[in-house]
Structures are given as C-alpha cells and as structure tokens.
Structure 1
C-alpha cells in the first residue's frame, strides 16, 4: 500500500434497523433526493421572476407529478440495469429482477423512465413538456449527489487502480488489495455539485424563460461529466471494457451530448418568454 493511501472509512450500509425493518443508505439517498428536489422545485415554480411571469406548471401539478416521476425513475432505472448491464444473468434468474434491495440501477434507464413520466403526465394534464422537463432536470443533480455518496458508503462502483501519485487513493474492502480512485466522490462532485451549480446559474440568468434550455443543458453536461468520470471508474465486471476501451457508461452517454446540444440550440432560437404571460398560459 502506498505511503499516502487513505484507509477507506468502512460504513454500515444499513442506516436504520428497527427489528425486521431495515433502511439502507441507498434508500435514504433516493428518499432524500426526491424530498429535497421537491422542495427546490416548488421554490422555482413560485418565482415569477425566473419564469418571466407565472410558471406554466402549478404547485399542485408538480405535487401530483412527484409520484409519477418516482415510479418512472425506479422502473426505468431497474429496467436499464437489466438490459444494459446484466441481461444474461437476469434471463437466467428472472425473479431477481424484482429484488431491488440487492442493488442494480442505471442512471440512463432512470432518466428514460423520467422522460416517459414527463410525457405521460403532460399529455394527461395538458402541460408544457419542456417546462416540466426543465424543472425536473433542475433538481436532478440533488439526487445524483446523494446517490453517488450512497455508492461510496456502500463501497461499490469504486474506481480503477491508482498509483502513488494519487495521495487520496483508497483500498476498498471489496475492491482487492490495490488502492483505487474514489470515483464515487469524483462523480458526486461533477454530476451533483458541479451540474447543480451550472444549472442554478443558468436559471438565475433567465434560462427558464426559454423552455427546454435547462433540459438540454442537464443532458449535455451530465453526459460530459459521466464520460469524464468513467475514465476513473472500474467497469462493471460482467461487462469490462467494450469497443476501443470504452465503457457502457460512456457509450450510453455519447448520444446524450448531441441530444442536449439540439435541445439547447432549439430553446435558444425560440423567442424568450414574455413578462406579459397570463396566468395558466402554457409556454
């Protein structure tokens, strides 16, 4: 072990245990992300200054949407993991698809589930898909930050081997004897804190007045952060490195760069929302 290697602070993955009731840190990360995101989203919706008038999404609408998006994230995240990361295993053991407490969620699948929930909810309520997408993506980094911290606590999704030039490298309990990059913390900083600050600054600059701009920025900057983080993250053992040394996370993120750019360009070319929007008018 290199002289400057940091010992991994072993955590108990179980946060709360009350008899047969067990709550893990990963579950708390999901719950915390949803609750804090809901609080932040309500603050955004209330601010007429940020929207250039009344928000096209009401507080009641967003309160109702929380259940929809929660289901979309969980179902999409699990489906994405099954299809993209461990399909052969789940074909052989289909009953384990529903054993969520054993772990196994995909961001890309969860994001697609979220997109589906947005489209379905807006179709049912007659709301602006782009504006609801903007709000949802504005709060998304909160959940990403907490989720990556939970990955770190669980000593999972650790990084690649690091040499003595990385003084903060850690030996993870289930990652072998060699020191590794704490890639979960890298991703927490990039996908969580960094992305949140970028979107928050854009919102303060008036981005919500251009429906789809925050949505596009989230997709674009997340993809860049994820691809960068993958250079330090150990690939899933059942997949390893794919074409040209790429990982599944990289391959799934590349299309997001182009989708995000298209959404941002389209949003920027549209006229900015007017301060004269009447209450209830959809952007």
Structure 2
C-alpha cells in the first residue's frame, strides 16, 4: 500500500482578532478551476474558425458576464443537490445547516443542474443555447481535475478497501474502519481516478475535438460528449468508490441507493444514467444535423 502523503488541507492560516482564518486547497481548486476554464472558453471565442458560420456564439465580454451566473449555479446547485440527493431527511430536520457550506457537502450532479439553469436563464434570448452549452463544458474539466485532487488532499471521498499495491492508507477512524481487514486498511484513491478520467482525459478529448475536429461547428456535440463521457466514467468509478455513510446498513453493506436482492445502483450511478442518455441524444442530434459551415 501507499502511505497517505503528509499534505495539510490548509495552505496557510492566520489568526486575526481571535479568529482563525485559513486558505484551503479546496477553495483554491474552485477558484483556479473557474479561472482556467474561463480563459479556455475565451481563447476559443477569440478563434472564429472554430464556430458555426465562423462566428463565435458569445463575445469574451459576454462570457465574463455569464461567469457570475455560472459561479452561483455551481455553489447553489452543488449544495442543494447534496441536500436533496444524499441527506434530505437530515436537512429537513436541520434546515439552517443547509447554509453551512464550510462544513462540506457538495454534489457534482447538483452543481451541474445549477449551471444548466443559470446558463439557460442568462442565454434564453438571442443565443444558440446548444453552442453556449458546448462552450461551458469545454471549460469544465479543469475544475473537476483540481477539485478531485483537493478531495484527495482533504482525505475525503475515498474508495472501497483494496489489496492492490496502489491502495492508499487514508487517515481517520472512518477510513480505517474495514471489518474484513486486519491491520492498516488501504483504499482505492477514487478521487485520483476521477481526477484522471473525468478531469485530465476528458479535457484532452474535448480540446482535441474542438481544436482539431471542428466539434463546435456541430452545436451540441461537445456538450453531449462531455455528458456521456463523464456519466460513463463516474458510473464505472462508483464500483470502487465508498458510498456515503447514510446509505450503508447491515442489510446493505455496499451502500446501494436502489437495490433488489443485493443487486442495484449507488446514488452516483443513478444520477449518472440521465447524463449518459442526454449525452447520447445530444451527440446523435448533432451528427444528424451536420456541421454548420460558413456560407
């Protein structure tokens, strides 16, 4: 196994007026992911040949204006998605704690829905919304890559126990609670699996499609590829990812959110299935309509 690296979740901390203020890797990952993604989209917007009719769907200024909506969609959607998908009963009994974002608890699928709604509200008039969706997903993988890496640094969202040589001995009582293993418990570093597959590899695929294969000339193709690729990747990684504790019980040790006779799906897999179907539909639609070239 691999010992967990000695990396603090906090980059630095200071005490001001009796209060401890800390800059955490997770916060930096959010900020850096948004900035990098924004610049990637702006770069594409400054390259007319990539777009239908050689005309970018949005100007750099419009992209910057939409960024505020996107950030709100990520934060509000991510938090409300976690509340609704993973712990609805708890938060119904403790509604004030919905606001306690600093205690953790964000859902990628909820954040995605928040971004979709925010982008729709901003672009509901005067924009090709499929092209706008393509632009947004082009800048999304860097945030996934950095976010999952920060999950690893925080020693959270780890995977199921494993005896593979790259298993990681995560710290903490919960991570080390493995009834079937004697001694130190190693787990799949599922955060790094997601960082690599849904972040780095997906980013390379989208960049190749956009800059080498003129994917943006087929509105919806880039967006559909993102949804389908992420959905399939997340579905597969869920097999080695430790489910949230509230789904685990003596009769359901695998933490399946839906199951019959011991077979079923985790919550992450359930939420990924609509993404896969939507992605396939968008890809099919884009390919049938063909590329939109300049007249």
TM class, shorter-length:
over 0.9
Alignment of 1:137-148 (within 5 A): 137-148=137-148
Matched, 1:274 2:293: yes
Structure 1 residue 168: Cα displacement: 0.9
2:222 aligned residue? 214
Structure 1 residue 21: Cα displacement: 2.8
Q: Deviations over 1:163-188 (max 9, x none)?
A: 2xx11111110201411111110110
2:2 aligned residue? 6
Match among 232, 253, 257 for residue 240 of structure 2? 232
* Structure 1 gap ranges (5+): 277-283
2:130 aligned residue? 130
Aligned to 1:188, the other structure's residue is in SS state: helix
Aligned residues between the structures: 269
- Taking only aligned residues, the RMSD between alpha carbons, in angstroms, comes to 1.2
Q: Deviations over 1:142-168 (max 9, x none)?
A: 1000110010000000010102xx111
Structure 1 residue 11: Cα displacement: 2.1
2:200 aligned residue? 193
Structure 1 residue 95: Cα displacement: 1.2
- Distance in 1 (CA, whole Å) between partners of 2:171 and 2:44 is 42
- Distance in 1 (CA, whole Å) between partners of 2:5 and 2:264 is 31
1:87 aligned residue? 88
Structure 1 residue 10: Cα displacement: 3.0
Runs of 4 or more, structure 1, over 2 Å off, are 18-21
- Distance in 2 (CA, whole Å) between partners of 1:106 and 1:227 is 15
Structure 1 residue 275: Cα displacement: 2.2
Matched, 1:251 2:270: yes
Q: Deviations over 1:70-104 (max 9, x none)?
A: 00011000010000011111112111111111110
Match among 11, 15, 34 for residue 15 of structure 1? 11
- Distance in 1 (CA, whole Å) between partners of 2:67 and 2:281 is 27
1:153 aligned residue? 153
- Distance in 1 (CA, whole Å) between partners of 2:246 and 2:107 is 15
Aligned to 2:275, the other structure's residue is in SS state: helix
1:172 aligned residue? 170
Aligned to 1:238, the other structure's residue is in SS state: helix
- Distance in 1 (CA, whole Å) between partners of 2:288 and 2:12 is 50
TM-score, with length taken from structure 2: 0.88
Matched, 1:181 2:185: no
- Distance in 2 (CA, whole Å) between partners of 1:268 and 1:61 is 28
Q: Which moved more, 1:216-225 or 1:264-273?
A: 264-273
2:181 aligned residue? none
- Distance in 2 (CA, whole Å) between partners of 1:202 and 1:150 is 28
- Distance in 1 (CA, whole Å) between partners of 2:21 and 2:37 is 26
1:279 aligned residue? none
- Distance in 2 (CA, whole Å) between partners of 1:11 and 1:56 is 42
- Distance in 1 (CA, whole Å) between partners of 2:12 and 2:43 is 30
* Structure 2 gap ranges (5+): 177-183, 248-254
Structure of greater relative contact order (alpha carbons < 8 Å, 6+ residues apart)? 1
